[in-house]
Structure 1
Amino acid sequence: MSDNIKNDEVDLGIAGKLTKAFITSPLSIILFFAMLGAGIIGLISTPRQEDPQISVPMIDLFVEYPGASSDEVANIVIKPLERLMSHILGVKHVYSVSDKGQGIITVEFDVGQEMNASIIKVRDKMLANLDFMPPGVRSPLIKPKEIDDVPIINLTLWSKSLDDGQLRSLGLELLQQLEKIKDTNNGFVVGGRKEIFHIDAYPGRLAGYGVSIQQIAGTVGSANVSDHTGDIELNGYKMEVYSGDFFKKVEDIENLVVSVKDGMPIYVRDVADVYYAPEETDHMVNYYTGKANKTNIKATGEQAVTIAIAKKFGSNGVAVAENILARVEELKGRLIPDNVEVSVTRNYGKSAKDKVNALLKKLFIATGAVTLLVWFALGWRPAVVVTLVIPVVLLMTIFAAWILGMTIDRVSLFALIFSIGILVDDAIVVTENIYRRWLIDNKITIGTAIDAVREVGNPTILATFTVVAALVPMAAVSGMMGPYMAPIPVLGSVAMMISLFAAFVFTPYFIMKFVPPLGVLHKMHEKEEKESKILYAFFHSTISKLFHIKAYGWGFLIALFIAFFMSMSMFYTTTVPVKMLPLDNKSEFGVVLDMADGTALANTAST
């Protein structure tokens, strides 16, 4: 007897065994809610952003060679460095620009290379070849760049009463506060003039005292230093001793002695005016409000500065942007005075949130459409079963995305929307076959349901793996598009595997919870037979003519070829635009004016 039971278990196959273990088990509903909970955790925890995260390390090498011409910099320093960098494993391209006394080398690595490992490779290559550097060349500055260095939020500070120098000082203070927020990355301030010490010398006084500009420059430069001169021990404590100090106020410069004449010291204040003020204007940032401005305050070209802040790789761009804006609101009236306005001129966090929410909405619409289709085709009970299975499959797929380090973005959500139409197939096949077997036996039993799942188990598994096999090659695409489109094959395959598990575990369980009476099953069968007869009559009256009447057959074949070549010609004639990604509605655009060399800043600003 035990052998018969064992043989029966073997005959059930994987699908039948899973169904037999869970179809009446109380663990089924516990497992269902556990997977649902894990999916909700994944939905909350998975970072959200507009596009998938791609690692494309780029490293800049800044080299200074004081006194050398651009040709000397290129031939003596830059070109040898280019050759060295090109030998590094994983380097795709090396670019360079040479100028008088300096040069820049940009090293671009292959897509998918890790930033930290790339920095170490460049640094080790530099240290191992320092001996080829000619005398006078300063040690190169290594500065990494990546996609997440692009700011996700821009805040423009503008005022009708403050100048750009005051706005810049305020912007730097505000930036220090905002960079304390979790997951923020590099930030910088654009616009405004720096506050500096100005020394305006009088030529007449310089001539009268016999003092040159070089003397003033040398005196000021040598005085604005602070050097560590040694250590002393006193009362059991060790103290560091520094000589000199940096300038803190105008008087520090005014009281410097630049020369001595007739036994009398000549101070800087005797030959020049010293004051602390913004530097000379070499760039301008102005702010204007347009017709779409929602505030009552209008700007007509007021001086402004912009604070740009990026996020860390792998962080939630939506949360970072929201935290920055919340912090700005807290600082209004404290750090940010009432006469300064803060306008959000870029918010990629909001755009990412809007697009993700729009795709989530479409995800719910697609789920609802599938549910209604099943309802009309099979009845409300199968529709309820499918509606219960779809969310757990989608949420567990998002949980898998979180575990795999992916993000919720428009590509990953497209993968889920794309998968909905496929992942319900397994549940529908299992449901239909269970109903069919109950109709054949004319009774509803658990054993028949288990055997029905066993009957379609292997074909369902084979069909699922066939779909996965069709998706997986997309993950092998090289270049930039490989990692960008990777969520489609990865998450699509994960969704298919989870849907297969759900079809064998949860679908039979819920079918037994929503068992239709035999009378309802017979009515469903009669309805299906009527629909089949109508469809058969339609196809028999149309398709049969294609086989039996040559004119119809050749006409259909010719029309098919014409339609095919007309559709292909759209690529050649550009009737339909060909793009890697769909057109996007951005909330910003740039205008670049290429003025003639030597054009004054005022003329450029007034153009």
Structure 2
Amino acid sequence: MNNLGFAGKIARAFIDSKLTPLIVGASLLLGLFSVLATPREEEPQIVVPMVDIYLPMPGSSPKEVEERLVAPFEKKIWEIKGVEYIYSASRPGMGIVTVRFVVGENMEQSLVKLYNKVMSNRGLLPPGSGDPLVVPKSIDDVPILSLTLWSERYDHHALRRVARELTDELQKADNVAETEIKGGLSRELKVSLDASRLASYGLTPLSVMGALEKGNVAQRAGAISSGNRDYTLDAGNFLTDAAGAGRLVVSAKEGRPVYLSDVATVTDGVQEPTDYVFFGVGPAAAHKGIRGGAADYPAVTISVAKRKGANATWVAEELVKRVEFQKGKIIPSEMQVTVTRNYGETAKEKNDELLFHMFLAALSVTILIALFMGWR
């Protein structure tokens, strides 16, 4: 016993110590707390500053945008310390430059350096171009949950209306950063001008457009005081329906007002579609509880991103519970909701598998030590 080394002396001190069970118990509790408190993530939580720069140049071809706008800014951006990659794309009237910094660079400092470099070189902007727009990107911008609303009965417009109300409810949940609705058709007031009626009143489309812009305004007009009270005055009103828009005065002729309905037809409907979103039911739909035939149904998708550092599993579970609670209230009974992406669930599966293998490894090491070194 007198020939024990440093490790042996430590082991002898703890073998008979009454603090050993307490230390072991505290270590187990600390490990359990770490397992529960560590956020479960699908995407790697590494700091990789990435920024998009939008360079508008209306009326220009992609080649002009690339040569006169994108290329000069690329050369200046390469001067920034920490820039690793630059990607660019040009399209009619717009150039997009994506800047990626070295892994581990500070996000705020990288954004400030890039913003200062872009704004200090505004002299490179050719005549007719707009102001640059700098938009930072993050791994947390990736949606963790996607919900697809689809129905055999309701159209794209009705689906989007329900999706907007459902989005408002989802944003009330904790740690929700951003929501986005993809697909569907928004409500729109459409004004169809009649050329002959415009000519009879001596009006032009531009004059009617100016009247619409001025008439679709609500603002504070001042205040009056009476009886020790102040009353605020509001002037104007927004155009909310076809009847109200038709009563808008766009001009006057021979002392009589000319209404919008006199020179145009106003309809309250939906916008012209720019894209379509449909939901198709596959052969495995019945095994996942999805009802539907073989047709493609109108659909709208809601994507939700979480805040930085939040547990993706907990956030996704809370959002799914809120959706289930709104069925029969905001969501009609004939409208289906399908979870088309759930990074919280996949992150939980991977995390549970990792913990299981770690437990097996720890158990195997413990058994080997007990067999070859003794129980003590």
Instruction: Tell me the alpha carbon deviations over residues 306-353 of structure 1, each in whole angstroms, 9 at most, x when there is no partner.
Output: 001122233211111111101111222222222221111111211222
5 Å matches for 1:253-292? 253-292=245-284
Q: Deviations over 1:351-406 (max 9, x none)?
A: 2222222333334444555566x3xxx8xxx25xxxxxxxxxxxxxxxxxxxxxxx
1:336 pairs with 2:331 = yes
Q: Counterparts of 1:101 and 1:234 in 2: how far apart (Å)?
A: 52
Q: 1:321 aligns with which of 316, 323, 340?
A: 316
Count matched residues: 372
Q: Taking structure 1 as reference, are residues 51 and 217 closer, same or farther at Cα in structure 2, changes over 3 Å only?
A: closer
- Could you tell me which residue of structure 1 aligns to residue 136 of structure 2? 144
- How far apart in 2 are the matches of 1:205 and 1:343? 50
In structure 2, the partner of 1:160 is: 152
Is 1:225 matched up with 2:217? Answer: yes
Instruction: Tell me the CA shift for residue 181 of structure 1.
Output: 1.9
Please state if 1:82 is matched with 2:74.
yes
Amino acid aligned to 1:295: G
Match of 2:306 in 1: 311
- Matched position secondary structure for 1:113: coil
Q: Greater CA deviation, 21-30 or 128-137?
A: 128-137
Alpha-carbon RMSD across the aligned residues, in angstroms, is 3.0
Query: 2:344 maps to which residue?
Result: 349
- Structure 1 residues 240 and 90, CA gap change in structure 2 (3 angstroms): farther
Counterpart CA distance in 2 for 1:277 and 1:61 is: 36
Q: Give the structure-1-normalised TM-score.
A: 0.56
Provide, for residues 250-295 of structure 1, a one-character-per-residue CA deviation record: whole Å limited to 9, x for no partner: 2332112233334432211122221222111221111122221232
Is contact 1:70–1:98 with CA below 8 Å preserved after alignment? yes
Equivalent residue for 1:298, pick from 288, 292, 305:
292
Residue 189 (structure 2) aligns with: 197
For the Cα contact (< 8 Å) 2:85–2:100, is it kept in 1? Answer: yes
Cα 1:234–1:72 shift into 2, 3 Å: farther
Distance 1:222 1:134, change over 3 A: farther
1:208-265: CA deviation from partner (whole Å, max 9, x where unpaired): 4444333322321332235667x66858999987654432232332112233334432
Q: CA deviation at 1:180?
A: 2.5
Offset, 1:38: 0.5
Distance 1:239 1:67 in 2: 49
**Alignment correspondent of 2:45:** 53
Q: Please, which of 80, 83, 87 is the counterpart of residue 95 of structure 1?
A: 87
1:401-550 alignment to 2 at 5 Å? Answer: 428=372, 431=373, 511=376
Cα distance 1:103–1:259, how it changes in 2: closer, same or farther (>3 A)? same
Cα distance change, pair 85–233 in 1 and its aligned pair in 2 (3 A): farther
Q: Which amino acid aligns with 1:301?
A: D
The answer for the alignment partner of 1:121 in structure 2 is: 113
- Between the two proteins, what is the percent identity of the paired residues? 37
Counterpart CA distance in 1 for 2:324 and 2:356 is 30
> For residues 158 and 309 of structure 2, what CA distance do their matches in structure 1 show?
35
Quickly say closer, same or farther: Cα 1:173–1:118, change in 2 above 3 A. Answer: farther
For structure 2, the 5+ residue unaligned runs are: none
Rate the CA distance shift 1:35–1:365 in 2: closer, same or farther, 3 A.
closer
Structure-2 separation of matches of 1:222 and 1:105: 37
- Taking the aligned partners of 2:160 and 2:87, their CA distance within structure 1 comes to 33
Whole-Å separation in 2 of the counterparts to 1:244 and 1:130: 39
Q: Aligned partners of 1:239, 1:118: CA distance in 2, in Å?
A: 49
Tell me which protein shows more helix as a share of its residues: 1
Q: Which runs of 5 or more residues in structure 1 are unaligned? A: 384-427, 433-509, 512-607
The structure with more radius of gyration: 1
- Post-superposition shift, 1:26? 0.4
Offset at 1:91? 1.0
Are the counterparts in 1 of residues 43 and 139 from structure 2 also a CA contact under 8 Å?
A: no
Distance 1:103 1:241, change over 3 A: farther
Change (3 A) 1:19 1:237: farther
The structure with the greater share of residues assigned to strand is 2
Cα contact 2:144–2:304 (8 A) shared by 1:
yes
Counterparts of 2:224 and 2:322 in 1: how far apart (Å)? Answer: 46
- AA of the residue aligned to 1:85: I
Q: Which residue of 2 aligns with 1:359?
A: 354
User: What residue number does 2:27 align with?
Assistant: 35
Which moves more between the two structures, 161-170 or 38-47? 161-170
Give the C-alpha shift of residue 302 in structure 1: 1.3
Paired residue secondary structure (1:284): coil
Match of 1:20 in 2: 12
1:99-141 per-position Cα deviation (integer Å, ceiling 9, x unaligned): 4433222111112223333222222333444455456543322
| Alpha-carbon spacing, 1:85–1:243, altered in 2? closer, same or farther (3 Å) | farther
Per-residue CA deviations over 1:503-536 (Å, capped at 9, x if unaligned) read: xxxxxxx61xxxxxxxxxxxxxxxxxxxxxxxxx
